[in-house]
């Protein structure tokens, strides 16, 4: 489980202690998720991770991956908390929606987008 | 709670059904997180969400925010599942690390980065 | 003027000297543009640059902005060179297309997207 | 050549006509570059463009690549114009700086980052 309520609480206290709520606007938190997402992407910018998941376990890279994933997750939890959004519910709904957009028999083995007539 | 184990299971089945594991490399999933993060950011590209959180509740925008947050979260869960990373643990560690990098007495009211001598 | 032909030449030599062409795939160069874009965005993650352009001239921040803009531009030029795309032509066409998507009389003072019925 | 002065002029007129300068803050233009960069990245999210540049020429994808590259370039030009930054000069300086950070004899065939002791 991810205990997002407790994590959200911790993040609220963290921001309050530092008088940082003034900076935590929707735009700034959305920007922060993008900034952290790019830091994760940077670990795979060139040759690393093009095919399989072996490389991810290397001790030189694994801690950095964990840290960037955590950064992204924390900002998502913070954003959802500020916005009053239920992440578990939103996630379940999105999986259901994706199943409708991508029926298995029509998209098996294909990486085209649901609205892409040509690939 | 976010039931990431069950969500990860659902995502595994979803990908297997569609023969999509071939596309789910570390690089591609990292890229996907960035793509979705930018779709959330796009909702706040101009005037929306610069200050407070009222606007986020408008019925014209709220469902879209929920959907993009869900997309980001699902790719993070999928990545962590493929990489064998414990997200709860990684999140707790990162909050602790952030407390060390940003002692409240030194960073109260300031938005400078921990390694930024000048703001 | 931006002398993109000469810059593209320099980038070709730079990559050849270092045997880096193997890493310069379409996907990797596209990822690189995103990585650099996020480094520019990070300079404006919190309070800086929310309103006017004064802050951009501060000597502590200006060189960093120049560097990130340059990084983005160089990857765009490198990508276009590898893809055989004429950037001047593409830019002119896009401005023309934007004028069609956003007629001034319909979008004056509005930040809604061209396909957005509700804002 | 990329005639960035003329393009910047066109973008200034475009924004003035639509009363959009109010939205063109440093933060918003930086966010826009990220949003467009991710739209380019999305074209290479899965199997396309992992190795060579052949696929880029396909008539179904080429126009979309041109459009996204143009979007990124136009926002970079707009940002630089608002910030009073000389893009040609910034680009030349960055290539020179990169040559110092990545001496060919030390980095030939390697994709490690300049500050990365371990890859």
Burial of A32 (0-12, 13-18, 19+ CB in 10 A): buried
Averaged pLDDT for residues A10-38:
98
Is pLDDT of A32 > 90? Answer: yes
Averaged pLDDT for residues B36-52:
96
- Chains in touch with A (3+ beta-carbon pairs under 8 Å) read B, C, D
Q: Which residue has the higher pLDDT, B52 or B103?
A: B103
The lowest-confidence range among B74-83, D51-60, D110-119 is D110-119
A4, A86 Cβ separation under 8 angstroms:
no
Is pLDDT of B117 > 80? Answer: no
- Chains in touch with B (3+ beta-carbon pairs under 8 Å) read A, C, D
Identify the CA nearest to D65 among candidates C94, C65, B37, A78: C94
Contact A52/D at CB under 8 A: no
pLDDT the model gives residue A116: 82
- CA of C90: how far to CAs of B41, C84, D7, in Å? 25, 12, 11
Q: Which two tokens stand for residue C78?
A: 């490198």
Averaged pLDDT for residues A88-116:
96
The lowest-confidence range among A107-116, B13-22, D5-14 is A107-116
Calpha distance C112→C108 (Å, rounded): 10
Option in C4, C31, C52 nearest D2 (CB): C4
Is pLDDT of A4 > 90? Answer: yes
- CA of C87: how far to CAs of C3, C6, C25, C41, in Å? 11, 14, 19, 23
A70, B94 Cβ separation under 8 angstroms:
yes
Option in B28, B31, B38 nearest D34 (CB): B38
pLDDT tens string C11-54: 999 999 999 999 999 999 999 999 999 999 999 999 999 998 99
Considering Cα of B39, then C80, then C1, then C71, what sign does the dihedral take?
positive
Contact A15/B at CB under 8 A: no
Query: Which residues in chain D touch residue B35, judged by CB atoms under 8 angstroms apart?
Result: 38, 41-42, 45
Contact A31/D at CB under 8 A: yes
Length, in residues, of chain B: 119
pLDDT the model gives residue B75: 98
Closest alpha carbon within chain B to D39: B35
Identify the CA nearest to A35 among candidates B37, C63, C71: B37
- CA of C103: how far to CAs of C92, D14, D77, in Å? 17, 10, 22
Q: What's the pLDDT band for C117 if we cut at 50, 70, 90? A: low
> Left if phi > 0, otherwise alpha if psi is -120 to 50, otherwise beta: which for D77?
alpha
pLDDT the model gives residue C118: 54
Calpha distance D20→D42 (Å, rounded): 27
Q: What's the pLDDT band for C119 if we cut at 50, 70, 90? A: very low
Residue with tokens 């930024």: B116
- Alpha-carbon torsion, ordered D106, D107, D112, D117, to 10 deg: 0
Q: What is the pTM of this model?
A: 0.97
Burial of D16 (0-12, 13-18, 19+ CB in 10 A): exposed
High-pLDDT (> 90) share of chain A, %: 95
Closest alpha carbon within chain C to A26: C46
pLDDT the model gives residue A78: 98
Q: What are phi and psi of B102, to 5 degrees?
A: -130, 65
**Termini Cα distance of chain C:** 37
Is pLDDT of A118 > 70? Answer: no
* Cβ pairs bridging A and C (under 8 Å): 35
Option in A45, A48, A111 nearest D46 (CB): A111
């Amino acid at each position: 489980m991810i205990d997002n309520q407790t994590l959200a609480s911790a993040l609220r206290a963290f921001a309050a202690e530092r008088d940082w709520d003034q900076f935590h606007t929707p735009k700034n938190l959305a920007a922060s998720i993008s900034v952290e997402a790019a830091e994760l992407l940077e670990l795979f910018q060139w040759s690393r991770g093009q095919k399989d998941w072996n490389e991810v376990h290397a001790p030189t890279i694994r801690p950095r991956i964990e840290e960037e994933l955590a950064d992204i997750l924390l900002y998502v939890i913070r954003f959802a908390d500020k916005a009053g959004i239920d992440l578990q519910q939103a996630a379940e709904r999105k999986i259901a929606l994706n199943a409708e957009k991508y029926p298995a028999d029509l998209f098996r083995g294909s990486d085209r987008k649901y609205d892409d007539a040509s690939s």
